[in-house]
Amino acid sequence: MIKVLKAGIYTTIQDLGRFGYRNQGVPVSGSMDSISAGFANALLNNNTSDALIEITLAGPKLLFTELTNIVLTGAEMSPLLNDEPIQNYRVYKVVDGDILSFGELKRGLRSYLAVHGGLDSEIVLNSKSFYEDITSKYCLKKNDVVSYKSGVKDIENHESNIKIMSQFYETDNLEVFKGPDFELFSTSEQERILSGSYTVSKDNNRMGYQLEEISVLHTKSIITSPVLPGTIQLTPAGKLIVLLKDAQTTGGYPRVLQLTEKSISILAQKNIGDKLYFDLIPMDD
Amino acid sequence: MSEYQLKFKSFGNTAILIEWPQKIAKEILEDIRIFSDRINRNDIKEIQEVNFVYASLLIIYDNNLISFKDIKHKLQLLYDEDNFAMQRHHTLWEIPVCYDEEFGIDLDFLSTEKKLSMDEIISLHSGTIYTIYGIGFLPGFLYLGGLDKDLYMPRRDTPRLEVPKGAIAIGGNQTGIYPQSTPGGWHILGKTPVSLFNARNEKPCFATPGDKIKFRPISRAEFEVIRIAEDTEVYELKKELYD
């Protein structure tokens, strides 16, 4: 098992998310950066749906008590295995007594720690993803333990792919589709929404990111309607709110844009003060 | 069917949003409910999830199996199909509520503001059959329509930091039940001892959008009895058929 010696800022267990319960008001949840989470599972030959640990901003200190392989992807947080620096995107073998800790956050915001075979934790409504009042925990705390099945595989490290895996989020441009309420706005308002440069505000978490700038002030209201992870709402005060994995399932602000799945992953690696731009991509029809 | 002119909008590249005329109306909700049932019954393999609230229906589909254009076409055909014997009944749920002032901490305030006695407020609130227009905002939070106009009350200027789980409240022209404790700006009339949402159940929320609910006033003593029954999982919500 993994024993939590220090919790870090916000450390959770995530998988692909909780599907099929939207009509009960249950958020989807799941890894914020599903691309990095996918790389982590892939590097260990795990299933895509295997649960792993999502680490935010500052890492935890974790004690392993059984033999396994681990890999870290996503944000670079100066990881240390028994006080020796290790690298993201490389598979390591750990044994009983090994301690994983983290140092300075160098790049990105969310790091993913996968173990061989995935984490063996509580399943609620077909998912292991933490969410308050759904799972018994909403984040990992000191002294918590998480199980996994002991075992290792011979895995080669493919250095050649590291660049692809580590650089996909090194962009400030987010691909967006028009949202269902985009046409409520005039052409010049649409233009202003799309051409603005935006900054991640301090109000950013797994539910959503509010952007700093005032985009377009308006008095348009919609009747409460479904929203998705990646939906960008425009409040009457002109603020854009990007809904993310733990967002509620319905909303009442106009849905002006919709991020692609890739852009959700990119945004999940952005921190307060980071700049963002939108690239409109055509709808498939 | 084909009663309404529907708008099909792509919503990202794996979802389709179908909009009815954007009004809060029982007839529209009923049309959506019947269409949603039909989609579910047809068991369309490309469709992963169906959800509706007020006047919109969301469909999540697998874009590896079908394009937006084709799913849109398929759904429009399904909507246009002739429809017989679809006048289905509704499930009417009875939610026990204790309107004791211990829980109904804003009853006194509402009574003064609305110039109604507390008993009048309780009988107006519990004498109505409400329609569930959707579930959202929080897991198990029901959007209820049908609040008596005499009970409309703007939200509090300052939200309370914690409204307890089970609180029955009024905000604007809506009434609702808090499925978990959360900050909230609505006026609190009472409390139900029943859990509206239990993540351990296969169907965590008892209700489905389109169902009806009513509130039954209970005494403080009955509240305790039901609470104990609920804690030991022997309480069952009463339901009946309603046209």
A221, closest residue in chain B (CA to CA): B22
Q: Which of B180, B137, B173, B181 is nearest to B155 (CA)?
A: B173
* Residue B153: strand pairing partners: B172
For B90-242, CATH number out of 2.40.100.10, 3.30.70.1280, 3.30.450.40, 2.102.10.10 equals 2.40.100.10
* A54: amino acid identity, one letter: E
- Spell out which residues of chain B touch residue A182, defining contact as CB-CB under 8 Å: none
B205, A25: Cβ pair inside 8 Å?
yes
Distance from CA of B25 to the nearest CA of A (A): 11
Beta pairing, strands A173-178 & A275-280: parallel
A263, closest residue in chain B (CA to CA): B12
Q: Which of A256, A245, A205, A255 is nearest to A22 (CA)?
A: A245
In sequence order, the 6+-apart residues with CB closer than 8 A to the CB of A101 are A6, A59, A60, A61, A62, A79, A80, A83
Query: Which sign, positive or negative, has the C-alpha torsion A105, A108, A109, A111?
Result: negative
B10, A177: Cβ pair inside 8 Å?
yes
A249, B54: Cβ pair inside 8 Å?
no
Distance from CA of A42 to the nearest CA of B (A): 21
**pLDDT for residue A158:** 76
Question: Does domain A173-280 bear CATH number 2.40.100.10?
Answer: yes
- In a 13 Å sphere around the CA of A240, the CA atoms on its Cβ side amount to 29
Tell which B residues from 113 to 172 touch A, by Cβ distance under 8 Å: 134-141, 143
* Residue B175: strand pairing partners: B144, B170
Domain ranges of chain B: 7-80, 90-242
Q: Are A109 and A75 in contact (CB under 8 A)?
A: yes
Alpha carbons A266 and A35: distance in angstroms, whole number? 9
CB nearest to B49's CB, from A22, A27, A255? A22
B17 lies within 8 A of chain A by CB: yes
Q: Is 90 exceeded by the pLDDT of residue B159? A: no
A224, B68: Cβ pair inside 8 Å?
no
A226, B136: Cβ pair inside 8 Å?
yes
* B7: amino acid identity, one letter: K
B23, closest residue in chain A (CA to CA): A223
- Spell out which residues of chain A touch residue B48, defining contact as CB-CB under 8 Å: 19-20
Tokens standing for residue B227 = 């609470």
CATH 2.40.100.10 domain span(s) along chain A = 173-280
B53, A27: Cβ pair inside 8 Å?
no
A20, closest residue in chain B (CA to CA): B49
B73 lies within 8 A of chain A by CB: no
Q: Testing the interface with B: which of A249, A262, A264 to mutate, by most B Cβ within 10 A?
A: A249
Alpha carbons A95 and A279: distance in angstroms, whole number? 46
**DSSP conformational letter for B151:** G
Q: Within chain A, which residues score under 50 in pLDDT? A: none
Q: Is 90 exceeded by the pLDDT of residue B1? A: no
Q: Which of A148, A12, A122 is nearest to A70 (CA)?
A: A148
CB nearest to A226's CB, from B17, B197, B200? B17
- Spell out which residues of chain B touch residue A123, defining contact as CB-CB under 8 Å: none
ipTM (interface predicted TM): 0.93
In sequence order, the 6+-apart residues with CB closer than 8 A to the CB of A228 are A243, A258, B11, B12, B15, B58
As a whole number, mean pLDDT of residues B211-222 equals 97
B199, A228: Cβ pair inside 8 Å?
no
Distance from CA of B13 to the nearest CA of A (A): 7
B39-79 residue pLDDT tens: 999 989 999 999 999 999 999 999 999 999 999 999 999 99
Helix axes A261-268 and A34-43, enclosed angle (nearest 10): 90
Task: Tell me if residue B153 falls in helix, strand or coil.
Answer: strand
Beta pairing, strands B90-98 & B212-218: parallel
- Spell out which residues of chain B touch residue A125, defining contact as CB-CB under 8 Å: 199, 204
Alpha carbons A11 and A121: distance in angstroms, whole number? 14
B200 lies within 8 A of chain A by CB: yes
E strand or H helix that includes residue B7: strand B7-10
A233 lies within 8 A of chain B by CB: no
Tell which A residues from 26 to 65 touch B, by Cβ distance under 8 Å: 26-27
B239 CB burial (10 A radius; 0-12, 13-18, 19+): middle
DSSP-assigned states of every residue in chain A: -EEEEE--SEEEEE-S---S-GGGT------SSHHHHHHHHHHTT--TT--EEEEESS--EEEE-S-EEEEEEEEE--EEETTEE--TT--EEE-TT-EEEE----EEEEEEEEETT-EE---BTTB----BTTBS-SS--TT-EEEE--B-------GGGHHHHHHTT--SEEEEEEPTTGGGS-HHHHHHHHH--EEEEEEESSSEEEEEEE----------EE--TTEEEE-TTSEEEEE-TT--SEE-S-EEEEE-HHHHHHHHT--TT-EEEEEE-PPP-
- Which architecture does CATH list for B7-80? 2-Layer Sandwich (3.30)
E strand or H helix that includes residue B144: strand B142-145
A282 lies within 8 A of chain B by CB: no
A285, B10: Cβ pair inside 8 Å?
yes
A207 lies within 8 A of chain B by CB: no
**pLDDT for residue B2:** 60
A260, B48: Cβ pair inside 8 Å?
no
B206 lies within 8 A of chain A by CB: no
**DSSP conformational letter for B172:** B
Q: Are A278 and A260 in contact (CB under 8 A)?
A: no
A250, closest residue in chain B (CA to CA): B136
- Distance of alpha carbon A206 from the chain centroid: 7
Alpha carbons B158 and B219: distance in angstroms, whole number? 30
Q: Which of A49, A55, A60 is nearest to A108 (CA)?
A: A55
Q: Is 90 exceeded by the pLDDT of residue B139? A: yes
Task: Tell me if residue B26 falls in helix, strand or coil.
Answer: helix
**pLDDT for residue A276:** 98
Alpha-helical regions (H) of chain B? 26-42, 68-80, 107-114, 118-126, 220-231
DSSP-assigned states of every residue in B56-94: EEEEEE-TTT--HHHHHHHHHHHHHS---S----EEEEE
DSSP-assigned states of every residue in A10-58: EEEEE-S---S-GGGT------SSHHHHHHHHHHTT--TT--EEEEESS
Beta pairing, strands B187-191 & A198-204: unpaired
- Spell out which residues of chain B touch residue A21, defining contact as CB-CB under 8 Å: 139, 204
Distance from CA of B39 to the nearest CA of A (A): 14
B54 lies within 8 A of chain A by CB: yes
**pLDDT for residue A284:** 61
Alpha carbons A201 and A203: distance in angstroms, whole number? 5
Query: Which sign, positive or negative, has the C-alpha torsion B124, B130, B134, B136?
Result: positive
Alpha carbons A211 and A196: distance in angstroms, whole number? 11
